Structure 1
Amino acid sequence: PLLVLDCCATVSRGGHRRFGNMAGVFLVMASAVRALDRLDAEREFLRKIAKIATAEIVSSKDFNVDWQRAAATLLVAIGSHDPDLMMEEIFLYFSGPTSALPAMLQILADFASAEALQFTPRLKDVLLRVLPILGSVRDGQRPVFANALKCWCQAAWVYIGDASSGLPFDDDVMSFMNSVFELLLKVWTGSRDLKVRLSSVEALGEMVGLVTRSQLKSALPRIIPTMLDLCKKDQEVAFTAAHSLHNLLNASLLSESGPPLLEFEELAVVLITLLPLVSVNISKDERSYISKGLKTYNELQHCFLVTGLAYPEDLCMFLLSKCRSKDEASIVGALGTIKHLLPRLLESWHTKQTLLVEIVKSLLEEQSLGIRMALAELIVVMASHCYLSGHSAELAVEFLVGHSAITDDDLNDINTLKNEYFQDKRFEMKISLAGLSELRAVCEKGLLLLAITIPEMELVLWPFLLQLIIPKKYTGAVATGLQMHN
């Protein structure tokens, strides 16, 4: 590694203006530095390499080029051997006006992400230099600062989670963190620039568990509406905001340091806002495991789960009340949330079993495709946890069979949609032939799951299922019934 580094250092003299592939050189140097033995990583040699890298970074105002990012990678690699040396080089550019400051902040953010256990004990030195600058940062650079703060806080959480590490913050660091928290909350989140607001909320989402409980409580009336507003934006923005909201609720409701900072009544506006968003982000795409919509859906459900862990009965009654509303998005959201939470709050919700079954029965005749889809999925979850028996179980099975009986001819005939069973002007969600095909697939899969994985359903399915598929309107489900029998 030393020979490689020496050769690369020689080649790099004159920088990117004299040598075309500086990015490649710096990446090779970064790999060589990481491969160095501790004994070979002499401080003065590393300092010389660090100065070559920083010289390249400060030579241009544009950080978004390959060779500068490669130089940053080299500095992070140097930091893994000698964090104090690397940070000394970075700190040289913190005093006085310099266009290189955002680049240096990004390097510290990358270093924190890569070497959390080495970075966190040095966070105090970083904040000492950043705090005097923060108040004068303009909107254009605020996202860079906010992203760095986010990464530093994430590193602190990794440090705290490491069993061999002690508490990373003394009183000075706590004071610094509280000051940064207040600035982001009261100034940056009020920016007209969406990028500034979003990056600030993302940073605050990592800080909420690190500041004092009194400061967090006083921040809730301001920070919650800001996060909820961003949750309503497009999926990229909504995912980030929902993740931060999840962290906020977790710190506010489930902290080991004391009782919940919010009463359930105070959470109503949060839950009412999130329910329709749950229905919007439900995805049935087979590739949805990589979709931002599904990730957003999961974060929203984490918010409900945290609330349910703090207030299980209150949340259950809230969701049941929304199932009785006339708003389709709220009903679909409530059904999807019950499906998600039931296995996780099974013991807490045991006394609400009868109410849950009655709600499902009351919705079986609803004509909204979205509601039917959500019901079909919920029925399978309820059956798998023995919530359905007797007549209610037969009604649920008939519901699944009825939609499994949709034939290919039905799906190829546009007149299918004119059937009064598929008409409902009260709801905005439109029925489509593709949607009916999706509903049929969900119900067929649900029936197979009932037959194969839930032994308790055998007494309900047989011979009831055979009697059920005899009427003409259900004969389309015969193939599914035969699969279940086999």
Structure 2
Amino acid sequence: KTESAGHELAFTLLDAITDKDPLVQEQVCSALCSLGEVRPVETLCACEEYLRQHDKVFMLLGGVGVVRAMVEGLSSRASELDKDTASTIILLASSEMTKTKDLVWDWQQAASGVLVAVGRQFISKVMEELLRRLHPGTLPHCAVLHTLASLSVANAFGVVPFLPSVLSSLLPVLGMAKQDTVRVAFCSGKRRPQKARTIQPANIQKGDQPTICKEVLSHINSVSFPPAVPSQLRLAVVEALGPMSHLLPSERLEEQLPKLLPGILALYKKHAETFYLSKSLGQILEAAVSVGSRTLETQLDALLAALHSQICVPVESSSPLVMSNQKEVLRCFTVLACSSPDRLLAFLLPRLDTSNERTRVGTLQVVRHVINSAGECLHASLADCPARAPPQPADLTAMPC
């Protein structure tokens, strides 16, 4: 009797969620979410049944509210679902998400959110359904790519065993992506699973590694689209390149560095927002240092000059990305301090004598940071440097920057 009452209440709310008044829609959605917290299984089943009975509800604004309510209920109570209910919801969300090839982002994002929420508890079932949507030789739906990317963040350990199948399906069709929205989705769909892969490489058979790396390498030039492409796409490509660098064998990475490093440095002049460039550059530098790259030495002067320029730009904005860019640039300096302390000091110390105040302040900021983050690597170089006596860490860290 209680179950019937809960089901009927959910259906009553669902009938009202398509009201033309946005305020009513929001209040009904909030009520559904509250009901879902108390009786998650009944509410989810009612939502699933309602969507099946109203297969065109996704065209209505209220339809997004239905799926939002499902996401809210799943976020905290997914563990209470039984396997049959979970399978039903997964199939529904996947079907709704890919029902149209056109971009209906609010609806598709909401349906994707259901899959991600269920995937926290039933990752195998969700991944099996998504892999079913990846057809050989065919571009996958953008929403499928976004869902794979989101899942690899929400449940990285669960996604790792499926990465060989995912990448082997995505990489061969990468060159078929012509629209910018699809290319951006591909970059997101590749970048995040690769980040998940680095979390638990032991979960993947060693035999898969050469195949995956070969595929990544063979398509890396396809990812590097011409400079005429929109800035959003360029940044998405650069974001993907950072994690990709950790997948390549040392000899392959060494072959690509002469293209990757100058390419990213050139983009500093074309983008006002440089956080994603600096973040990806830091990942590539870490990968290069970890394999003892010799190519990095030939690129070092250009790298130091570009990174130093980023630090010396006045930070007049309170934007989180601006501050984050400063942190990523300093992280790059830490990586270089550990690999080439002599070259770094030879670059920095003369810039302390310049008359340009911003240059001095930026240089001191770098020196202070690398002493704190890579002091042991710098100690021998500081002691042997003939240009000046080694500065004391305590004094430098106290200097305002």
Please indicate the TM-score interval, normalised by the length of the shorter structure: 0.7 to 0.9
Alpha carbons of structure 1 residues 94 and 310: separation in structure 2 relative to 1, 3 Å = same
Counterpart Cα distance in 2 of 1:195 and 1:251: 25
What residue in structure 1 maps to residue 213 of structure 2?
Answer: 177
Alpha carbons of structure 1 residues 7 and 62: separation in structure 2 relative to 1, 3 Å = same
What residue in structure 2 maps to residue 316 of structure 1?
Answer: 345
Counterpart Cα distance in 2 of 1:352 and 1:293: 36
Residue 55 in structure 1 maps to residue 129 in structure 2: no
What residue in structure 1 maps to residue 43 of structure 2?
Answer: 4
Aligned CA RMSD, in angstroms, stands at 3.2
Seq. identity, %: 25
> One-letter code of the match for 2:331?
H
Equivalent runs, 1:26-65 vs 2, <5 Å: 26-34=67-75, 35-37=77-79, 40-43=81-84, 45-65=85-105
The answer to whether the 8 A contact 1:41-1:81 is kept is: no
Alpha carbons of structure 1 residues 383 and 132: separation in structure 2 relative to 1, 3 Å = closer
Q: Single out whichever of 302-311 and 94-103 deviates more from structure 2.
A: 94-103
3-state DSSP class of the match of 1:154?
helix
Counterpart Cα distance in 2 of 1:17 and 1:135: 32
From 146, 157, 162, give the equivalent of 1:122: 162
Equivalent runs, 1:214-363 vs 2, <5 Å: 214-236=251-273, 238-253=274-289, 255=290, 258-262=291-295, 264-280=297-313, 282-283=314-315, 288=318, 290-324=319-353, 331=360, 333-347=362-376, 348-349=378-379, 350-351=382-383, 355-356=387-388
Counterpart Cα distance in 1 of 2:237 and 2:355: 37
Counterpart Cα distance in 2 of 1:187 and 1:128: 16
Residue 84 in structure 1 maps to residue 84 in structure 2: no
- Aligned-residue offset at 1:47: 2.7
3-state DSSP class of the match of 1:91?
helix
The answer to whether the 8 A contact 1:204-1:244 is kept is: yes
- Aligned-residue offset at 1:275: 1.6
- Aligned-residue offset at 1:331: 5.0
The answer to whether the 8 A contact 1:191-1:197 is kept is: yes
Alpha carbons of structure 1 residues 294 and 8: separation in structure 2 relative to 1, 3 Å = same
> One-letter code of the match for 2:288?
S
1:343-377 deviation per Cα after TM superposition (whole angstroms, max 9, x unaligned): 3344424416884569xxxxxxxxxxxxxxxxxxx
Equivalent runs, 1:409-420 vs 2, <5 Å: none
1:258-293 deviation per Cα after TM superposition (whole angstroms, max 9, x unaligned): 53434545411211222222111x4266xx4x5322
Counterpart Cα distance in 1 of 2:137 and 2:374: 55
- Aligned-residue offset at 1:62: 4.2
What residue in structure 2 maps to residue 385 of structure 1?
Answer: 394
Counterpart Cα distance in 1 of 2:128 and 2:106: 24
Counterpart Cα distance in 1 of 2:137 and 2:64: 27
Counterpart Cα distance in 2 of 1:270 and 1:154: 24
The answer to whether the 8 A contact 2:101-2:141 is kept is: no
What residue in structure 2 maps to residue 192 of structure 1?
Answer: 228
Q: Single out whichever of 6-15 and 174-183 deviates more from structure 2.
A: 174-183
3-state DSSP class of the match of 1:344?
helix
- TM (normalized to structure 1)? 0.65
What residue in structure 2 maps to residue 155 of structure 1?
Answer: 196
Bigger radius of gyration, 1 or 2?
1
**Which consecutive residues of structure 1, in runs of 5 or more, have no partner in the other structure?**
161-165, 359-381, 389-441, 447-486
The answer to whether the 8 A contact 2:137-2:172 is kept is: no
Alpha carbons of structure 1 residues 120 and 354: separation in structure 2 relative to 1, 3 Å = same
Alpha carbons of structure 1 residues 191 and 145: separation in structure 2 relative to 1, 3 Å = farther
The answer to whether the 8 A contact 2:116-2:150 is kept is: yes
The answer to whether the 8 A contact 1:58-1:99 is kept is: no
- TM (normalized to structure 2)? 0.77
> One-letter code of the match for 2:187?
A
Alpha carbons of structure 1 residues 345 and 104: separation in structure 2 relative to 1, 3 Å = closer
Alpha carbons of structure 1 residues 385 and 265: separation in structure 2 relative to 1, 3 Å = farther
Q: Single out whichever of 227-236 and 67-76 deviates more from structure 2.
A: 227-236
1:426-462 deviation per Cα after TM superposition (whole angstroms, max 9, x unaligned): xxxxxxxxxxxxxxxx99x79xxxxxxxxxxxxxxxx
1:307-344 deviation per Cα after TM superposition (whole angstroms, max 9, x unaligned): 11112122111212344568776555433322322333
What residue in structure 2 maps to residue 68 of structure 1?
Answer: 108
**Which consecutive residues of structure 2, in runs of 5 or more, have no partner in the other structure?**
1-39
3-state DSSP class of the match of 1:59?
coil
The answer to whether the 8 A contact 2:281-2:332 is kept is: yes
- Relative contact order: is structure 1 or structure 2 higher (C-alpha 8 Å, sep ≥ 6)? 2
From 86, 91, 95, give the equivalent of 2:135: 95
Counterpart Cα distance in 2 of 1:323 and 1:96: 58
Alpha carbons of structure 1 residues 120 and 314: separation in structure 2 relative to 1, 3 Å = same
